[in-house]
Structure 1
Amino acid sequence: MVEIIFQNKEDARKLYSKLEKQTELSDKVFLFEEKQAIKINVHLLEEPIQNNVIDIFYEFILITKRDDWFRKILAEQFYYDDVDEQQAILDIIYSIIDGENKELAELIVDGQEKKLLKMAVMDLLQDTNIAFSFEAFVKFRLREFLEKLLKYVELSIDEYKMEQEYQMFIHTLREFLNKRHEKVKYLHLVYDEEPTFFNDEFEEIKRAELTKMIDRKLLSNHPVYVDSVTIAPLLSIAPRTIYLYAKNPDDPLVRTIRNIFEERVILKSIEQFYEAQIVDMKKVSENW
């Protein structure tokens, strides 16, 4: 028989519910509630049943408790008590864990926390006749696992702060843009290896000319964040429509331009620029 003693009664009921739902375990799991603790007894007789208990206990920790521990770390060690802020950081954490954010995942040197947890659970439950405290198991057997969770939290907080700063930066530049009067109606921006500006007649705007157009207040107020090669000219010119031809639509600079100028930006491929340029040249030759 396996006996698991919980100090936290809610945790005990969650695990009990998961065990009880398993057909093979439904008549072999018992819950005993006492004043100071709550116990779960599982009567194991067969190898497959033991494996079921191992899997469910592992998933209970990985899915249910890991989320609780992330929130506890955020609140107690980093003072993020707001539920919405916690959720925003958790979204970043799980984007790393699930492999969606590959850049951040690469910064986790050793992401073997699942393996550590599985080994700890299997080592504990290999004996079918055992009684243990869940809290003690976490404290003594899962120390390294919890340390790895802390790394995810630290990395995600840094990313969250950077995203907050980025959003504030975008908001500030939108306000600046809203106060500007458009100097041109249409502008073509080709972003391949480097940005190249063209007017509405597909004539290249040279760098010296762009530099003269830049509002110096923009650079003095935001010297660190504003890109003087691309963002500053665009904000200073404040075109009604920007035809943005990009090789990679997911490039950070492309993302920033779209976030600042929003509906003013029409995103196209590099190939579409050359096609449009050829069409314009034909129109000019026909007029001649």
Structure 2
Amino acid sequence: MIEIRFEETSDAKILYEQMKAKSFYIDMVLREQSIIVSLAADTQDFLVRELVEFIVKTKEMKWMDEILAQSFFYSDEEERNHILHIADELIRESNTVWSHKPKHDCYQLLHASLQDIIQADLSFSFASYVRFRLRVYFAELHRFVEMAIDEYKLEQEYQSFVEALRQQLGSRKSRLSCLHLVFHDSFVFYDDKGHRLNQERLVKYIDSNILKDQDLYVDTNVIAPLLSIAPKIIHLYTAHTDHNMVVTIRNVFQERVKLYTVGEFEKMRQNL
């Protein structure tokens, strides 16, 4: 028999209800702030998995929120929620988002820590388990929160950059009614007649004042010509819609951008 004692009755109820749906595995009783489980030898792994699920679904976000508030002094609820969402995504996708594998896997840490203590004829406090067994796990949560904060700051900087470019665009008159932009390995500009604009001609379009703004770094090959020409419509042909520059063009020029496949460009040229 195992007794798990919680400080909060709500936590005991949540775990009990979570396991109740799978009660054909084990016998258990909810008694105020405790769950008493009759544990057979072959159900130890089941209980470990259920506790890991309880921690991940019920406690993990709360703990990261506490880290944000207490260690990094974030007080704005909306800001914290945004960072927590990023942290949660980083944890779930840690093996694909980052180029290096995390030093520890959060779920493996939880699983290993519980396997060490889940055994027959045991009574333990969940709070004590958290305090003394999850130090490495909390260090991992802290690391993911730090990464999420960095990601959040980059997002904020990018949004400020995009807004500054929108303001630049809003103050300009269109020098071409439309522009055709083809992106495969590189960006190639065409005018409204389908004639390619070489680099020399694009440089002549560029307004030097854009490049003199020390507070705003503007790409000279793509963004600077687009801002300087300020076309009313940009016909963008590409298969790489998630490319950073493509995303930025769409964010800055918004409804002016019309998206097509690369194959549609030749059809367009034949109709001009």
Judge same fold: TM > 0.5, yes or no: yes
Distance change (3 Å), C-alpha of 1:262 and 1:111: farther
8 A contact 2:3–2:124 mirrored in 1? yes
After superposition, the C-alpha distances for 1:208-228 in whole angstroms (9 at most, x for unaligned) are 222222222222225653111
Rounded to whole Å, the distance in 2 between the matches of 1:100 and 1:266 is: 34
- 1:209 is aligned to 201
8 A contact 1:108–1:151 mirrored in 2? no
After superposition, the C-alpha distances for 1:72-102 in whole angstroms (9 at most, x for unaligned) are 1111111222222222122222322333993
Larger Rg: 1
Report the RMSD for the aligned CA atoms in angstroms.
2.4
Rounded to whole Å, the distance in 1 between the matches of 2:232 and 2:194 is: 16
- 1:49 is displaced (CA, Å) by 5.2
Map 1:16-55; keep pairs closer than 5 Å.
Answer: 16-20=16-20, 22-24=22-24, 28-32=28-32, 39-47=33-41, 50-55=44-49
- 1:24 is displaced (CA, Å) by 4.0
- 1:254 is displaced (CA, Å) by 0.4
Q: 1:143 is matched with which residue: 120, 128, 135?
A: 135
SS in 2 for 1:187: strand
Length-normalised TM-score, structure 2: 0.89
- 2:60 is aligned to 66
8 A contact 1:19–1:25 mirrored in 2? no
Q: 1:240 is matched with which residue: 232, 240, 256?
A: 232
Question: In structure 2, what residue type is equivalent to 1:99?
Answer: E
Question: In structure 2, what residue type is equivalent to 1:205?
Answer: L
Question: In structure 1, what residue type is equivalent to 2:262?
Answer: I
- 1:23 is displaced (CA, Å) by 3.3
- 1:116 is aligned to 109
After superposition, the C-alpha distances for 1:228-261 in whole angstroms (9 at most, x for unaligned) are 1111111111100011122411110000000000
SS in 1 for 2:259: strand
| The 10-residue stretch of structure 1 (107-116 or 261-270) with the greater mean CA deviation from structure 2 | 107-116
Rounded to whole Å, the distance in 1 between the matches of 2:23 and 2:12 is: 19
1:6 equivalent to 2:6? Answer yes
SS in 2 for 1:196: strand
Q: In structure 1, list runs of 5 or more residues that go unmatched.
A: 33-38, 281-288
Rounded to whole Å, the distance in 2 between the matches of 1:191 and 1:223 is: 28
8 A contact 1:177–1:238 mirrored in 2? yes
Question: In structure 2, what residue type is equivalent to 1:216?
Answer: S
What is the aligned residue count?
A: 272
Q: In structure 2, list runs of 5 or more residues that go unmatched.
A: none
8 A contact 2:26–2:39 mirrored in 1? no
- 1:6 is displaced (CA, Å) by 2.9
Distance change (3 Å), C-alpha of 1:70 and 1:7: same
Q: 1:171 is matched with which residue: 156, 163, 167?
A: 163
8 A contact 2:95–2:101 mirrored in 1? no
8 A contact 1:70–1:153 mirrored in 2? yes
Length-normalised TM-score, structure 1: 0.85
Sequence identity of aligned pairs in percent?
A: 36
- 1:36 is aligned to none
Rounded to whole Å, the distance in 2 between the matches of 1:247 and 1:22 is: 47
- 1:58 is displaced (CA, Å) by 1.8
- 1:259 is aligned to 251
8 A contact 1:24–1:49 mirrored in 2? no
- 1:185 is aligned to 177
